[in-house]
């Protein structure tokens, strides 16, 4: 074994046992070294040296190590014992050390920095010819712990390849004795983050984008299993000009001469490209589990810079350290770069006192430093710096995504803490107000009639008490945050449960049957509309009349919330009013005006006012493209909205053209993980699936799933939704086994995430059951559907669309398995519910009519079946027209039923109706048309009209010959024998 290989083996064994309890080390080491006593002694000497180091700076956790640093690092003694030289002495001599001319083959140009661990030089590399940064351990500073930290930085940087992270070129040792390990890194010629922002006088929006780019780099590190743990402005240098303006060479230099001191960026990117540095105390984890690879830091030791450390990090408990510590530090960076202040002033405080401040004190709100930072930016900072790490952004990518949503005027995902959480924190400081606020919270949860009253009273009190220092738009934000995120289904379920529990047990069953026809979700929604939204709109109209732009903001946000709860029609008026205010106050072409026009257009599409929606969206898109080009954010938003509107209007092919164009524009403009691009890909995937372009849709569905998994984790709600979408695509492709496998996994994860009674869980059960149905696995499908139906009924009641869908699917299963007696009551209830929810001529109501009629006919009750099927046919002809597939299915069933009663003459027009519809679809329906012509010929023969029947039979033969030569199309689409459709 060569010397360098042997040294590397020593380090591997050292890191394998160094974290074990001392008694267990020897046994494990003997096991790993086998019979190599010399190898075991080398490792034991390192362990002994490591145990002698106790200073705070040497307590960093161990990484995996870098092979190139192995050669010569154990010293030159014959016994292989590690050499140690006093660190303090090296520190004292560092400033006096003369500038070396050459280190490791690199020509040293100047000293550009130093720290506790080493010295950084600017150096010249000959091949390739470039300037580099040379980081060298101080002479004599080769303590085992410091060496491990140095090697960790080399190892970490070797894994990370991102334009936002300073790259490592080489690692080695500068002398034969191995006492001068060095790293060769890119030379970053830029200023520290805060200095860069001030030097170039960056606007707030540019500062936000700058931090978003830092988030991108940190996210890359997290994906590689690396937690930085010391993010601060001094560890982020910014190269002027952004990615396109970056130099090939990099440095740790805080260069000031690069722009000649002008303080302007001229034509360069106004933001710049940040470079994250100093991974010396980074923590290496398993990126698949986020578990630490090593656990070297002792509990109670603090690693990092206090002002930027999260509350859990200052405890010194390494078990609490994960990627969310870096998210907190990014929040501090954002706070400081925007406001010029740190959120907590810990300068001059002892470590315990500083830790207490970070853990217990709320920082000054961002907006208190600058009014323009209130609103979304304040909310984003609060979410990133939440003391409870479970309330922070789950990743740096989520923080970056919200920052870019803010920059493109999209709604952000972050929301202030819930009312319940705020009350818990507020109670200890303001006991006198807790009772009133608790009533507000209770009203929101239960959806009772006093909801809006208590809420608005609380808002007025807050306004009156703080009017001297709180602006109206901040109060407006408070109001909106109270109503955002309301779960109407949960409110209805809670109200139903409360009513049932309010009566004695012996009367509960009777009450439950009486409540069967009460839609508690609608009841809760009506309560919100009347007592919350209507009251809110009244307050907005009266209290903010003299602040029209704040009024418009409130109207828009309230309308969006109403829209999110399904109150589409009621949301139109406030949305139109907000747009009118912005047009009057800001002008027709102001970006805020156009953004409101986009919001209104999307809402118009949801209420089927497609013509106006399309006209408004095209106007916005053309205006912004004319002024700023097709890549303008508002132009892209309008294009996406237009895709949605055309799709809802049934103009799928037009929507497909625009959806492809939108994805093409954004792929060339945005990062692969940008939320705007992902939304456009999702639109394109949906349109493709609807139009049957399954092959083209597949890579898009997979891409969305992969990105969501990478950014949010395998079990996040968005990832599970993307996984379910992929399963639906597999089902549409006929790949039922794959679809079932995916649905099984999705259901298990959704159960764990939400429990057994959540609407998402019931939807996942239905999806799996529908797939099992298609596979012919009726028993597991029935078991799943019965579970979902029972849960839906007991928690939410049956007078809801999810409930009736489950009933219909269970009834369809009974249809196929010839269990008409079981199917009939389910179809009766489904039909009654559809009539109440959707009306008599809704497509789903007509389909329920047809199913029930078919079941009754199969059970030998044609007299009961006939009026139902006739109603279905008449309704379908009126709603869909004579050539629609749904009309033809119903007409075919009616013709068959009449012929069973020997009513040949009455059946004939319905046979002809089906034939005419199929002829309109020729030649794709040749075989089906032939079969129905044959049935029509039989009908005419039964009426004694053989002469009329003969040419039909000749045509049947011609059609079948043509179909045999060129099979085409969609296969059989007209149901002949009343066969039930598969569950939805």
Active site residues: 230
Phi, psi values for residue 270, rounded to 5°: -70, -10
* Strand pairing class (291-292; 283-286): antiparallel
Long-range pairs for 31-40 at CB < 8 Å and ≥24 separation? 38/80, 39/6, 39/9, 39/10, 39/13
Segment holding 297, helix H or strand E: none
Report CA 462 to chain centroid distance, whole Å: 34
**Is 167 in a helix, a strand, or coil?**
coil
- Give the C-alpha distances (Å, rounded to integers) separating 389 from 310, 312, 326, 367, 427: 9, 8, 11, 22, 21
Query: Within 10 A of 348 (CB to CB), how many other CB atoms are there?
Result: 7
The answer to whether 705 and 722 are in contact (CB under 8 A) is: yes
The answer to whether 84 and 31 are in contact (CB under 8 A) is: no
The answer to whether 959 and 923 are in contact (CB under 8 A) is: no
Sheet with strand 191-192: strands edge to edge? 191-192, 236-241, 269-276
Reported as half-sphere exposure (CB side, CA atoms, 13 A), residue 474 has a value of 20
Phi, psi values for residue 458, rounded to 5°: -65, -40
- Give the C-alpha distances (Å, rounded to integers) separating 942 from 180, 358, 899: 104, 91, 10
Burial class (CB in 10 A: 0-12, 13-18, 19+), 753: middle
Treating both helix axes as pointing N-terminal to C-terminal, what angle do 568-586 and 591-606 enclose, rounded to 10 degrees? Answer: 160
Helix intervals (H) in 568-674: 568-586, 591-606, 610-628, 633-648, 652-667
Taking Cα atoms as reference points, which of 35, 57, 62, 34 lies closest to residue 46?
A: 62
What are the beta bridge partners of residue 472?
none
Look at the chain and count its residues: 984
Question: What is the spatial distance between Cα 802 and Cα 785, in angstroms, rounded to a whole number?
Answer: 12
Reported as half-sphere exposure (CB side, CA atoms, 13 A), residue 673 has a value of 21
Q: What is the DSSP string of 770-788?
A: HHHHHTT-HHHHHHHHHHH
Question: What is the spatial distance between Cα 474 and Cα 583, in angstroms, rounded to a whole number?
Answer: 23
Sheet with strand 291-292: strands edge to edge? 226-227, 283-286, 291-292
Report CA 14 to chain centroid distance, whole Å: 41
The answer to whether 643 and 615 are in contact (CB under 8 A) is: no
């Amino acid at each position: 074994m060569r010397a360098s290989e042997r040294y590397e083996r020593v380090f591997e064994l050292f890191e394998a046992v160094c974290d074990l309890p001392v008694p267990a080390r020897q046994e494990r080491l003997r096991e790993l070294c086998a019979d190599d006593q010399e190898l075991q002694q080398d490792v034991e000497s390192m362990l002994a040296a490591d145990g002698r180091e106790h200073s705070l700076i040497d307590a960093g956790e161990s990484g995996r190590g870098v092979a190139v640093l192995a050669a010569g690092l154990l010293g030159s003694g014959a016994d292989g014992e590690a050499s140690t030289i006093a660190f303090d002495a090296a520190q004292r001599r560092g400033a006096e050390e003369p500038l070396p001319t050459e280190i490791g083959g690199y020509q040293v140009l100047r000293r550009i920095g130093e720290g506790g661990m080493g010295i950084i030089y600017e150096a010249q590399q000959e091949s390739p010819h470039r300037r580099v940064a040379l980081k060298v351990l101080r002479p004599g500073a080769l303590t085992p712990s410091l060496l491990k930290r140095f090697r960790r930085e080399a190892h970490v940087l070797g894994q990370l390849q991102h334009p936002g992270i300073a790259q490592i070129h080489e690692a080695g040792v500068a002398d034969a004795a191995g006492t001068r390990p060095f790293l060769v890194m890119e030379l970053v010629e830029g200023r520290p983050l805060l200095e860069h922002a001030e030097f170039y006088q960056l606007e707030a929006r540019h500062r936000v984008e700058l931090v978003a780019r830092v988030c991108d780099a940190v996210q890359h590190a997290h994906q590689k299993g690396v937690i930085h743990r010391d993010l601060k402005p001094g560890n982020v240098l910014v190269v002027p000009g952004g990615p396109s303006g970056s130099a090939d060479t990099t440095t740790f230099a805080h260069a000031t001469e690069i722009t000649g001191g002008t303080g302007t960026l001229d034509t360069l990117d106004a933001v710049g490209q940040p470079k994250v540095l100093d991974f010396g105390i980074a923590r290496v984890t398993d990126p698949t589990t986020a578990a630490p690879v090593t656990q070297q830091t002792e509990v109670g030791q603090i690693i990092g810079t206090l002002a930027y450390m999260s509350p859990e990090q200052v405890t010194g408990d390494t078990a609490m350290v994960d990627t969310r510590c870096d998210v907190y530090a990014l929040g501090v960076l954002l706070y400081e770069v925007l406001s010029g202040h740190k959120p907590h002033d810990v300068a001059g405080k002892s470590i315990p006192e500083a830790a207490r401040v970070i853990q217990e004190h709320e920082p000054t709100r961002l907006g208190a430093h600058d009014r323009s930072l209130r609103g979304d930016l304040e909310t984003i900072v609060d979410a990133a710096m939440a003391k409870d790490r479970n309330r922070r952004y789950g990743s740096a990518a989520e923080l970056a995504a919200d920052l870019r949503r803010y920059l493109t005027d999209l709604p952000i995902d972050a929301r202030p803490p819930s009312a319940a959480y705020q009350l818990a924190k507020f109670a200890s400081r303001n006991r006198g107000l807790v009772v009133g606020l608790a009533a507000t919270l209770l009203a929101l949860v239960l959806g009772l009639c006093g909801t809006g009253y208590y809420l608005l009273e609380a808002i007025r009190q807050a306004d009156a008490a703080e009017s001297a220092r709180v602006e109206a738009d901040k109060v407006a934000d408070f109001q909106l945050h109270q109503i955002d995120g309301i779960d109407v289904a949960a409110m209805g379920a809670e109200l139903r449960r409360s009513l049932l529990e309010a009566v004695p047990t012996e009367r509960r069953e009777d009450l439950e049957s009486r409540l069967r026809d009460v839609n508690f979700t609608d009841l809760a929604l009506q309560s919100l509309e009347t007592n919350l939204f209507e009251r809110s709109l009244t307050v907005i109209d009266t209290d903010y009349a003299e602040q029209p732009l704040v009024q418009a903001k409130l109207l828009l946000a309230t309308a969006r919330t109403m829209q999110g709860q399904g109150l589409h029609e009621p949301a139109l008026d406030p949305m139109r009013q907000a747009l009118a205010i912005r047009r009057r106050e800001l002008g027709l072409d102001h970006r805020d005006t156009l953004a409101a026009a986009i919001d209104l257009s999307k809402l118009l599409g949801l209420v089927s006012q497609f013509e106006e929606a399309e006209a408004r969206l095209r106007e916005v898109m053309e205006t912004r493209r004319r002024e700023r080009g097709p890549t303008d954010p508002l132009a892209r938003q309008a294009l996406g909205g237009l895709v949605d509107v055309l799709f809802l209007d049934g103009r799928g092919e037009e929507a497909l053209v625009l959806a492809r164009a939108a994805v093409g524009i954004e792929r060339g403009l945005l990062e692969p993980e940008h939320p705007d691009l992902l939304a456009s890909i999702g639109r394109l995937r949906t349109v493709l699936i609807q139009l049957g372009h399954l092959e083209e849709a597949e890579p898009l569905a997979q891409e969305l799933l992969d990105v969501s998994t990478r950014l949010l984790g395998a079990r996040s709600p968005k990832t599970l939704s993307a996984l379910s979408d992929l399963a639906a695509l597999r089902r549409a492709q006929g790949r039922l086994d794959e679809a079932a496998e995916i649905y099984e996994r999705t259901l298990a994860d959704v159960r764990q995430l939400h429990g057994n009674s959540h609407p998402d869980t019931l939807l996942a059960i239905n999806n799996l059951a529908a797939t099992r149905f298609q596979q012919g696995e009726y028993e597991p499908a029935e078991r799943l559907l019965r579970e979902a139906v029972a849960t839906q009924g007991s928690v939410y009641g049956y007078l809801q669309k999810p409930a009736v869908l489950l009933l219909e699917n269970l009834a369809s299963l009974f249809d196929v398995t010839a269990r008409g007696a079981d199917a009939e009551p389910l179809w009766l209830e489904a039909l009654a519910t559809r009539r109440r929810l959707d009306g008599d001529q809704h497509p789903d109501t007509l389909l329920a009519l047809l199913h029930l009629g078919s079941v009754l006919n199969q059970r030998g009750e044609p007299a009961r079946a006939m009026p139902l099927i006739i109603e279905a046919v008449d309704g379908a002809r009126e709603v869909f027209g004579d050539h629609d597939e749904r009309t033809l299915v119903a007409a075919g069933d009616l013709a068959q039923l009449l012929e069973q009663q020997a009513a040949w003459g009455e059946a004939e027009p319905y046979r002809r109706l089906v034939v005419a519809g199929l002829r309109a679809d020729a030649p794709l329906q040749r075989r089906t048309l032939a079969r129905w012509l044959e049935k029509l010929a039989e009908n005419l023969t039964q009426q004694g009209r053989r002469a009329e029947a003969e040419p039909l039979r000749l045509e049947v033969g011609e059609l079948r010959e043509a179909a045999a030569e060129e099979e085409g199309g969609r296969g059989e689409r007209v149901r002949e024998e009343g066969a039930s459709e598969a569950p939805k």
